Structure 1
């Protein structure tokens, strides 16, 4: 039993438990929050700025937009974690750098949403 876990037994080895606590501490640091960047591929930038600027909704443009956002100087002063859409896990910027690495290199922790997005159920 562990007092650190409120008396609950831990099934994690001590090193993994320490890593988990460190990650949670970084994500919940005072003054920091999460950036929800888990928008679906199709309706990106719902404010319609892309349509107004005639920017095609293609993976390359979404990757460039994401890399621009995540590389913003000072972003990690306020953001501890970034929630990503699955597409982002595999994207690279124009120089070939993984978007996930841009996030990590800028002091934030990338995460992934685990749902499959909105799905309208019949009869509800």
Structure 2
């Protein structure tokens, strides 16, 4: 795929008033979400929940793409239509999470490095054949008394750059996510300093690996103090966009912030509340779409 095609996909992903919904939880992670609301973690329930999200009427008005899990990329609607076909027909780009999660970084207690490069070239080729148009890799950076170390930052960003280069080779737009965690009691100034160091290192690595920035997406963390909550994410996005115009689109890629209310509603009556839960998802998508334009107000 040419750089022009990759750039076109990347631009579509951050179209004005649109963003990405993240439904890439592993089977183990979604079990934790289901357990909270009393839903059995069966393959059929996972499939039905993803269908609820992906076929919500009006979703495409504010959602440009969805990050899927390997299982979801291969699943279909109850009527037998592959999710990827449903998404393409609606104008929603299918994406796929490809990292294998963080593992302890040897020699650096308390720090982690994301793994998953082994066999990635082959997996990306298969995902492209299945209809994916972009991929996501998440690095995890902890802020602590003596962390993050420069070794941790460089190891994670080296992996992100290698992943991004492989994505573009396969014709997929890479979403690079160096997540600086909000856990801890650090203030906003420390968060800023760490985030700046991480991003400088990341873009140096991307440059060294010949990653075409026009055909990639940066999924950055918000620079804030302490922990955040889902509802504040929309308000923060709106506030940042009201400070514009910016040199680049400032969109969103949210998971629980868009899904939690719908999941709770669906769990109460999985048949009777299906349509109502879909309406809730569409409403959250609309709120974040407005925030991406700096036009959101509480209650909209």
Of 112, 115, 118, 2:96 maps to 112
Alignment CA distance shift 1:113-1:31 (3 Å): same
Partner of 1:69: 53
Q: CA deviation at 1:121?
A: 6.4
Q: In structure 1, how many angstroms separate the alpha carbons of the residues matched to 2:60 and 2:15?
A: 11
Q: In structure 2, how many angstroms separate the alpha carbons of the residues matched to 1:98 and 1:70?
A: 11
Q: CA deviation at 1:119?
A: 4.4
Q: CA deviation at 1:114?
A: 1.4
Query: Is the counterpart of residue 96 in structure 1 residue 80 in structure 2?
Result: yes
Q: Does the 8 Å CA contact 1:40/1:85 hold for their aligned counterparts? A: yes
Q: CA deviation at 1:93?
A: 1.8
TM-score, normalized by length of structure 2?
0.33
Partner of 2:33: 46
Q: CA deviation at 1:80?
A: 0.8
Alignment CA distance shift 1:60-1:80 (3 Å): same
TM-score, normalized by length of structure 1?
0.74
Structure 2 unpaired stretches of 5+: 111-300
Q: In structure 2, how many angstroms separate the alpha carbons of the residues matched to 1:23 and 1:101?
A: 17
Structure 1 unpaired stretches of 5+: 1-11
Q: Does the 8 Å CA contact 1:63/1:99 hold for their aligned counterparts? A: no
* Bigger helix fraction: 2
Q: In structure 2, how many angstroms separate the alpha carbons of the residues matched to 1:41 and 1:72?
A: 22
Q: Does the 8 Å CA contact 1:67/1:102 hold for their aligned counterparts? A: no
Q: In structure 2, how many angstroms separate the alpha carbons of the residues matched to 1:121 and 1:24?
A: 32
CA RMSD, aligned part only? Answer: 2.1
Alignment CA distance shift 1:115-1:79 (3 Å): same
Q: CA deviation at 1:19?
A: 1.7
Deviation readout 1:30-57 (Å, 9 max, x if unpaired): 11111111111123272622x1xxx321
Query: Is the counterpart of residue 83 in structure 1 residue 67 in structure 2?
Result: yes
1:46 alignment partner, SS class? helix
